[in-house]
Chain A
Amino acid sequence: MKQESEWEPKLLGFLCRWCSYAGADLAGTSRKKYPANIRIIKVPCSGRVDPLFILKALRLGFDGVLVSGCYPGDCHYQTGNYRARRRMAITKKFLEYVGVDPQRIQASWVSASEGGKFTEVVTEVTKGLKEIGPNKLFADER
């Protein structure tokens, strides 16, 4: 059993392959440091992210989920990120109402040239998750 002080949040990132994933790549090749707390899943578009993925991640014990895509207007498929924006908005707000800390559900726009921004976003989100502590939402025994 790990001590509470050793606990590190697990963050699941869904990154669009055209912008944010390339941004994460750039952060790496530029030797920028960002928290190792994020596990990345490459998706074709932020519009591919079903709210169900977010719930499933929380159910499996991830402490937070980050969905990141291209800036509005930059979507490789024209409109995928606009659709993602609506989905993320209602998912985040609705889950907040149900009782999930909104810090656990995050979204960002990161372009392929923004290695720095990617680093900042992951750092900030991880910091927020550390503050709110482990996800015990679905634990069978709380």
Chain B
Amino acid sequence: MKDRETEQRLRREAKALLEQGKVDYIIGFETGSLKFTTTPLITKDKDSVDRLIINPFIVNNLSEYLTELKGRVGIVAKGCDNRSIVSLIQDNQVKREDVVILGVPCPGIIDLSKVEGLVGKDRDELDDVTRDGDKVVVTVDGEKKEFPASEVLFDNCLGCEFPTPQEYNILLDESSSLVADKTASRKGIETLEGMPQEQRWDFWEKEFSRCIRCYACRSICPACFCERCFVEESEPQWIAPVPRWQDNLIFQVIRNIHVAGRCTDCGECERACPVNIPLRSLTKEMYDLVDDLYHFKAGMDKEAAPLMTHYETTDPEDFIK
């Protein structure tokens, strides 16, 4: 198993980093408390690194923790997480010399909700889910079922442009090939684009009506690094901190504008949302929009100026009277 080898190497490297005092912390993944789930492991302890794992369920974007940890950090990063780290460096939130990036080439992460949909069972009722190249094998009640990986990977993984980290200290494996399906990755957006304008607004009204303002989208987003968010400003109060659809929608529109050029389409906001609001249909649209307008992809070059603090005299202005 390829993951097993990568895992062994990761543990060795992580242990060495801690032992040699090159880092104060290691951030990686360990086995979670629910079936198939993985969970972030943040540790100073060199024995704990034996719990580090690599598997097709390492979904969290761990760069989220970089802005709060003090000291030097060794961090496990997939392609998208890696770009988030670079983006944080661009924004002066993280110093390059303070992070040791343990890059993991990522073949895409398995979306257990999709698996549940396909087999009609909840994740805790499945015996096993394994990745085998471009297939995923699901064992239910002792019976094996095979699905093309493109049907069970997260939507954002299907649209991934850079599965292999570009900015790293140690690359734990050779670059991995990706099962891409750009159309599937943009499915939500295309459905919306096919609707008349009023219908799109009504769609979002309905979706945001069930937001409970847990702010998991904001809390889990590495690009949302502000210490104080406009939502909680009270003088002036821009929007009410009350879960009404109007205020929820404004919050999310502004959040997207704030993370424009920082969002790497890691998909964490949508995954974290406990009430299934299709947030990635907003973030991915913004991701593509800044690419179209300014040929800017987040987190590609640590020397580059952040998108919105920068300008070109030739920027498009056909919309200006």
Contact = CB atoms under 8 A, between A and B. Distances in A.
A55 B199 CA distance: 19
Interface string B292-321: 011000000000000111010101110111
A55 B250 contact: yes
B319 A94 contact: no
Interface stretch (B54-62, B75-83, B142-150, B201-209): B201-209
A99 B246 contact: no
Interface stretch (A10-18, A26-34, A35-43, A102-110): A102-110
B260 interface: yes
A99 B198 contact: yes
A92 B202 contact: no
Interface stretch (B114-122, B163-171, B251-259): B251-259
A87 B308 contact: yes
Nearest to A95: B253
Interface in A84-142: 85-102, 106-109, 121, 124-125, 137-138, 140
Contact of B321 (A59, A86, A121): A121
Contact of B238 (A56, A93, A97): A56
A87 B309 CA distance: 10
Contacts of A95: 253
B289 A93 contact: yes
Interface residues of A, number: 38
B103 to A, nearest CB: 30
Contacts of B307: 86
B290 interface: yes
A107 B201 contact: no
Contacts of A79: 311
Contact of A138 (B192, B193, B199, B246): B246
Contacts of A94: 253, 256-257, 285-286, 289
Given A52-B230, A86-B308, A121-B321, A99 B202 contact: yes
B275 interface: no
A55 B266 CA distance: 26
A52 B252 CA distance: 11
B140 interface: no
Nearest to B236: A56
Contacts of A121: 321
Contacts of B202: 99
Given A56-B238, A107-B321, A90 B289 contact: yes
15 contacts: A52-B250, A56-B239, A82-B311, A85-B311, A85-B317, A86-B294, A87-B308, A90-B293, A93-B289, A93-B293, A94-B253, A97-B192, A98-B204, A99-B200, A99-B203
Interface of A: 51-52, 55-56, 59, 72-73, 79, 82-83, 85-102, 106-109, 121, 124-125, 137-138, 140
Given A52-B238, A101-B197, 4 more contacts: A52-B254, A90-B289, A91-B257, A98-B200
